[in-house]
A and B are shown apart, each in its own frame.
Chain A
Amino acid sequence: MSSYNWAPGFIDDGDRAQIVTSRFQYEDGHTLDRYLATGGYAGLKAALARTPTQVHEEVKAATLLGRGGAGFPAGTKWGLCPEGKWPRYLVVNGDESEPGTYKDRLLMERDPHQLIEGCLITCYAVGLSQCFLYVRGEMALAQERVAAALNEAYAAGYIGRNILGSKFSVDIVLHWGAGAYVVGEETALIESLEGNRGMPRLKPPFFPAAIGLYGKPTIVNNVETLANLPWLLTHSAAEYMAIGTPTSPGTRMIAVSGHVRRPGVFEIINGTTTFRDLLYGDEFCQGIRDDNELKAFVPGGGSAPWFLPDQLDLPFEAKLVGAAGSMLGSGAVMVMDETTDIPVAALTLARFYAHESCGKCVPCREGATWLERIMERLVDGHGTENDLDQLLEIGQTICPGPFPHAASERLGLAAVPFPFKMTTICFVGPSAYTPVHSAVTLFRSEFEARIVKRKLIPVSIGASDE
């Protein structure tokens, strides 16, 4: 079987390495019994048999890239906690809400113990004294599955005081969100966890590893990132590096949505799989629906600049995709076929970011709202010639500079100029502009076709002949 009705969307056709989805084939993959029967908590035991430093070194050696969006290596991040400053905390980012992204929820619903084991390994390696597992509020089933798994794991001695009879003790606390996209940003996540409105903090100085939860050093990692750790500890950094490419090793979960014949969530080989494989491959999406032509695709979640069909041969490799002006982001590919009304598609994203702007900084609060309004009237047939330039001008205010990769190493690929310098506190501002920018620069004629030409009506009031 290739898909399972208890794991909606997940497809494991083909014969690829599976690191984080190996238990999705079991209907009871979320239970402790199944987890233990399939090698569960062996990674924790392997970790406890080594020193924390050795575990940290192994993770560093594996170049495990963060899966939350920024792609920062986890081992390096763990090393950023200032020496001698205690306590340190772990905050797990399970707030998945980037448009197009669907993977962390599956990992929490289908294999919560794997995530818990990853949390434990992290706390052991970095000396973190408490872990907060922040699960998005709207994910009722994920919250239930994680709660049940935590209860089982506590009872069995895997969490809490003197874990498996060792000196290692840590509590894992399940925390619920309540619906706000921006809370996925790590400093906003911490604000929210402190009981506040989820508004991002300014970096510097508020880099979580230095000044995080309660002002203490805090590691924030994504669910999928941590889910890799049990495998990594029962195998090795070398075995991990043998999958994928040296700069993008291992696997990653990718959700492909939109106009493909078979949308789904796949665990792909990092670095080598191309967008063409994914969209057209037999074991993946099997082509565009109704044999239509591909018009454009979003390679890495709603915040990522769009790609055109001539960029299909790019692999899932952060540097190459960056050089082409976009990013892999959160592992979400959204596909638009020839029938797509581009201004409308872009409007849905503009609306998303305008709605989710937290309002802390002016360029985003005002800019995102204006982008949405102008896009709305363009779609509605009330736009004017000035509107297209005005969209780009507002974007310039939010992010005045070009995407550095696009500017520096283009590697001969048609670079989509992406804004990078920004006048906002977090990436919601630039993200609001990105889809608008892509749509307007790549498909300008579709907007122009909707523009109403203004007629200047001569006005003369009270003019006299004299």
Chain B
Amino acid sequence: MTRLNDANQVLAREIIGRYPKARSATIPLLHVAQQQNGYITQEAIAHIAELVGATSAEVLGTCTFYEMFKMHPVGKYLINICTTMSCALMGAEQLVTHAEQRLGIKAGGTTPDGLFTLERVECQAACTEAPCLQANYRYRYRVNAAQLDQFLDDLAEGQLDAEIPAHGVVARVRQSIPVDRAVSVVAPDDVHEAPVWMPLSGTTA
């Protein structure tokens, strides 16, 4: 059963309800699916398509455009080492080579125990803290080989579980809009007038 479970369906409906058009929720719902299963399953694609009123092919098309969505299982920890210019200038490629040797895999691969997937990625908006990496989208800055070894050990031993959840979970805090505060969402084509706080002159062409 890799469609969205009951709790996630409730969450999905809440998310969809925030947008004037349901399809806008496609990417957020793909994240929900990846959080549930660790990767994106065909069943989840079909389910999301039902929920947002698109075809499976359309949702799949969206899904495959974005780097973060994995169509097959990856390691519990996705280790993304940035190799764009600022990091490259500070030794990122050497760090990748070290990580490959240490994990016994090539970048792009997953360790046989399913614990680590290693990827070479692009600028992570931490360029002053080069070379940097993310483990499941949590940062480590100015990393050297010894620190990388220690970090991988700590992850493997579960010492960082509180900080770094398993792959699929991105943000652990979600927005929730209180019903009594929410402005009702209206279909874009049903709005013809300026919002009430705008001066009347704003409504004339």
State the A residues within 8 Å of B (CB).
8-9, 51-53, 82-84, 86-87, 96-102, 104-105, 124, 127-130, 136-141, 143-148, 150-151, 154-155, 157, 159-161, 166-171, 173-181, 192-198, 213-216, 255-259, 263-265, 298, 302, 332, 334-336, 340, 344-345, 348-349, 352, 355-356, 358
Nearest 3 interchain pairs by C-beta = A179-B67, A160-B181, A195-B26
Please state if B203 and A99 are interface contacts (CB–CB under 8 Å).
no
For residue B27, which residues in chain A have a CB less than 8 angstroms away from its CB? Answer: 137, 175-178, 192, 195
Query: Which residues in A have their C-beta under 8 angstroms from that of B195?
Result: 86-87, 127-129, 169
Are A178 and B123 in contact (CB-based, < 8 A)? no
List residues of chain A with CB within 8 A of the CB of B83.
Answer: 348
B contacts with A, residue count (CB < 8 A) = 73
Contacts of A97 in B (CB 8 A): 122-123, 125
Per a CB cutoff under 8 Å, which of A99, A146, A193 touches B84? A99
Identity of the chain A residue whose Cβ is nearest the Cβ of B27 in the assembled complex: A178
Cβ of A336: which chain B residues have Cβ within 8 Å of it?
89
B138 within 8 A of A: yes
Task: Contacts A99-B122, A178-B67 given; indicate if A143 touches B183 (C-beta within 8 A).
Answer: no
Which residue in B25, B88, B194 is a CB contact (below 8 Å) of A86?
B194
Q: B162 within 8 Å of A by Cβ?
A: no
Min CB–CB distance A132 → chain B (angstroms): 8
Complex Cα distance, B127 from A245, in Å, reads 28
23 A–B pairs (Cβ distance < 8 Å), ordered by A: A9-B126, A87-B188, A98-B123, A101-B127, A105-B125, A141-B139, A145-B173, A150-B175, A155-B181, A178-B31, A178-B67, A194-B21, A194-B24, A195-B21, A196-B61, A198-B65, A255-B127, A258-B85, A263-B130, A302-B84, A302-B123, A332-B127, A335-B89
Contact A179–B66 (Cβ < 8 Å): yes
Closest residue of A by beta carbon distance from B88 = A348
A448 to B168, CA, bound (A): 46
In the assembled complex, the CB of A109 is this many whole angstroms from the nearest CB of chain B, namely: 10
Question: Any chain A CB within 8 A of the CB of B23?
Answer: yes
Smallest Cβ-Cβ distance to B86: which chain A residue = A257
A154 to B175, CA, bound (A): 10
Cα of A348 to Cα of B82 in the assembled complex, Å: 11
Q: How far is the CA of A145 from the CA of B173 in the complex (A)?
A: 8
Q: Which of A166, A181, A196 is close to B122, meaning CB atoms less than 8 Å apart?
A: A181
Q: Are the CB atoms of A160 and B177 closer together than 8 Å?
A: yes
Q: Is the CB of B171 within 8 A of A178?
A: no
Task: Give B59's nearest chain A residue, CB to CB.
Answer: A195
A102 touches B203 (CB 8 A): no
User: Once the chains are docked, how many angstroms separate the CA of A345 from the CA of B84?
Assistant: 9
Do A345 and B85 touch (CB < 8 A)? yes
Asked if residues B203 and A176 are in contact (CB atoms below 8 Å), the reply is no
Q: Which residues of B contact A130 (CB under 8 A)?
A: 20, 183, 185
B129 on interface, CB distance cutoff 8 Å:
yes
B52 at the interface (CB under 8 A from A): yes
Question: Shortest distance in angstroms between A114's beta carbon and chain B's nearest beta carbon?
Answer: 18
- Chain A residues lying within 8 Å of B69, measured Cβ to Cβ, are 178
Contacts of A174 in B (CB 8 A): 175
Query: Which residues on B sit within 8 Å (CB–CB) of A99?
Result: 84-86, 122-123, 127
- New contact pairs (13) apart from A86-B195, A104-B125, A257-B128, CB-CB < 8 Å: A87-B195, A101-B125, A127-B198, A129-B183, A138-B137, A144-B172, A146-B175, A155-B178, A161-B180, A176-B171, A179-B67, A257-B89, A263-B130
Report yes or no: A161 in contact with B123, Cβ–Cβ below 8 A: no
